[in-house]
Chains A and B, each alone.
Chain A
Amino acid sequence: MHKKLFSLFVETSNMRKTRRVVNINVQGKKYSRTATYSVGREKIREFAHAVKSTSPVSFDVFAAQTAGYADLVAPPTFAVVVQERSLATVLADPEADIDFSRVVHGDQRFVHVRPIVAGDELTSELTVASVKTLGAHSMVTFETQIFDETGELVCTAISTLVVRGGE
């Protein structure tokens, strides 16, 4: 299982011993909207470069506009940046009680209504879609809906984290 963890992983890994790894009652819980994320051109270029993209629509405003977009187009996985902000609210929630020192990234999906473009002002709303127990492990699926400034849905990011049970 791929260990794509969150920054708190390291800080917390040695602090917690035997305890439950996630509160099952948190299933269905909806978290409040995050503060606005303003998508900038240079951020799109930086992210596109980091994921080794060479797609002209992510770097060249003229290419993006020629292709029919308002501005530079974010790579298909860019929504993770916005999703992370919502996940941070879950991390900080004592009720969810997720032991992030035991978390590994199980799977990830992005369903786009339209691509994210520079100039978007995005907010996100996270719901704990499901909590499943598999032996000693728990699988928590988060669904993050990302909206633009007009309230239209832009993307749904679905992330399943596997929380390893205590040994």
Chain B
Amino acid sequence: MKSLRRDPSSNSQAANVASKVFVRSTRSGKVQKIVRELYLRQDIPCSSKLCSICPSIAPPDRNGNIAPFVLSDQPAGTKAFPRGHYLVPDTNALMNGMDLFEHTGAFYDVIILQTVLEELRNLSLPLYNRLLALIKTDDKRFYLFFNEFRLETHVRRGADESINDRNDRAVRTVASWYSEHLKTSAAKKGKKAKSVPAIVVITNDKGNLEKARSENVTALSLSDYVSGLEDSERLLDMITEAQVRESKGPGRGELFYPEYYSMSKLQTGLRAGTLHQGVYNVSPYNYLESSVKVPAFDKALLILGRDNSNRAISGDIVAIEVLPKDQWKSPSTKLVDEEAVTRNDNPDSEETEAVVSDKERKALQDEVKKAHGKSSEGNPQPTAKVVGIIKRNWRQYVGHVDSNSTGSQETSGRRQQNVFVLPMDKKIPKIRLRTRQASSLLGERILVTIDSWPRDSRYPSGHFIRSLGELETKGAETEALLLEYDVQYKPFPKAVTDCLPKEGHDWKVPQSKEDKGWKGRRDLRHLQVCSIDPPGCQDIDDALHARPLPNGNFEVGVHIADVSHFVKPNNAMDLEASIRGTTVYLVDKRIDMLPHLLGTDLCSLKCDVERYAFSVLWEMTPNAEIVSSDFTKSVILSRQSYSYEQAQLKIDDKSDTTELTESMRQLLRFSKILRQKRYDAGALNLASPEVRIEADADEVGDPLNDVKTKAMLETNSLVEEFMLLANISVASKIYDSFSQTALLHLINQLSKKRNMELDVSSSGALASSLDRCVDPKNPFFNTLVRILATRCMTSAEYFVAGAHAEPEFRHYGLASPIYTHFTSPIRRYADLLVHRQLASAIGYEGEDGHAVIEGVATRGKLEDICRNINYRHRNAQFAGRASIEYYVGQALKARGEMEQKKNADADAGIKEEGYVMRVFENGVVVFVPRFGIEGVVRLEDFVLPGESASFSASERRDLAIHRTTEFDPEEYTLRVEEKGHPEKERSVQVELFQRVQVNVSSVKEEGRGAGKRRVRILILDASDK
């Protein structure tokens, strides 16, 4: 009987067939044995330009081309490898040193094994993606070698061999194969074997190193290899902290944190509903308090203290367990700042650490007292503890070295030492960093990453990536902002710029109407179109017109830049734009979504130039009732581009009766009617503080004069109103055509704010209850409430129509049943998608005759894009806001310096009006509308009546301990008084929404050396005048 078993040892024919066997557990709980057959081949090239064999055997693609070889013929050498070397890292080396491999100073010509790549994917998806990106870039010369598919390098697992041992063996096998292969190839060329580069295996595994030695394979540990490079100290810092610790040996001291549950236990719990999963969110005002929103509870679950948060970091997806009801508490009424509480922690001394330091315990105990004290009427919220991490969302963090933590070892020079890094984001805990260059990092903005948070350490440990430059410098701070908000700011790669029209700036709308560019386009060049934008706007994406029709009705048109004409689906430019998602506006910088050429020229609807557009045309009755609407691709010629002020002047200028001005007047009239209709339908008039900074103002004057709150002109709302109308019309059109995949935009339900009696059941009810919130004494009160209400709303999100039921489509704030974004395709990717959908909905076939809808028609893909756009959109807003905040700080600082020059009186600051936005037990949050900023006012920063008006921060520091407060959580009032002086005249009482006089200045934090600058707000006078 002939054996049916496939056994390579008994059958030489089967040598080129191997199989890969593994167990796959599916989401539904099935467990399958999977067998994949591997057909081993001998034509996978080594991809070294030195090789003379592989070019002849490498398989060509469909066009007969062989993939270009990657590895250099003159690889860089080091002292140890003067002839040059190729690197073969194992998985661990990549896990620990990905930042090194990404470094541009070293690590070229790297052979990445398929085995290693797959192993890395199982261990860490982000690292895997970074490695893939590295392999894709040409200049680092990373070659992905499919060793498992090549006959010579495929390794069969031995009988009792663990997977790790087998993979290590695979790495060594590849290394020895490569050196043999290159030697043979060199011999063929008649060269000496001497000229062959060394193949260096990088591994941290001791056993592997030993085996490599006995097998005559060159192998080095990552740190040994890096030590042999130039600039090794800087590079050594980039090795992951975990690995350094590991080599130091485990079992050091007590374990501070409870262990996480095992993955299977977590999953059992999550499925059974005893555990919950959600995003871990740290309170910006109290670093010991965080919340996790889970579907099972209406209110977010509170997590109090380090014990319960158990090494979770803001943004992680965690599994939590609800604590028993007697441990439920109300949310904190106190400001707790990590930097202040843990100022004196020493990064080196672990022994004295406890998870909950005494100070922290005290802060927490106060809380408990509070919760128990008013348990009768108080409303304790459910609390929970973190029992496991589903997914870490660690990223790279921008921060600076805490100068306190380096103090003791200042003189030790280049020795490795532990320092703390204070991340810019207050929600992120201090990061312990081991570095050899502590002294040179002081006073710099640096980029670090978290590697691990071991159970025996109070703080996470991380490693240094790079320095952004000196603190407070424009370059460093801007880059820090962009990094912190994950904005893609690198220049567009060549693949993207290749997608631009070849004519460059000379591109023009084709003269002849026979040209394919005119196909399906209407000629609207005769219309009196104009654009109205903020001054200095370069990326004009909308223009308008209105003209009377013979039947007494009006034709109104909104023309949007036809970006989808230039950005074809699924090419490199489209992909890049979809990743960037939106253009980001900083005070002095704009990070474009599309390359400059398109955004500010070819797509921009500049005046007196013919441009492609996507037009929405309505026929309206004089009462702004829409008779019909029409969508078409078109060619327009804008007659004028106005700024809001210019347009307003034109309209107001009674003597001006040109057709263009008349049409603007008509538009304005319509816009007022439309607006009123919208409010009648219950639309919200929500406010968000907007501050504009005109950075180009002259330098002699008061720098604060550049800071302007945005003025609302009638023309602003004119444009706004028609854009809304266009968006609504387009939304219903594409929803009709693509009910499953239309890209729409909705604002989620409003979450309730604690102290206001607002009716949130519908936007209409909210609008009227907002209107009722008027305080006759305080004209700004209504705006304040509106600002708060806007903040409470979960910001609007894009979604794919098929994913929601139709009643959920409503746009809350606009009181419109359906909404999308159509009008800004130059700066929002969502609009671009909507353009494509609309083009397809109206049957536009594109220049070459086939539909352009491909790529936007699949729901899954669209949902991915939506998620990314929503994320980018949010980040772009945050980045913009942070940029303004930074600029205001700088302006204050410049002013402070100027004042100082005039008279020696130190940091005088500027007097302004502020409003109390939140009240805590030991401080308040004040909003200064003039600058659009918000700041915390601590006890010491209350200027009590009868006090010397010295505002110096250093003098005031000690005041806090002499003060007591009376906090009324029901009335939201806080009274600050000096100990032993309870007289009313000597105390200050503030309440929520109260107007206060404040002194705003920019101070450098003291006691922290190079510490950062912050905006300091002093409450001068709380009497409401």
Is chain B a partner of chain A in the same complex?
A: no
Chain B contact residues, CB within 8 Å of chain A = none
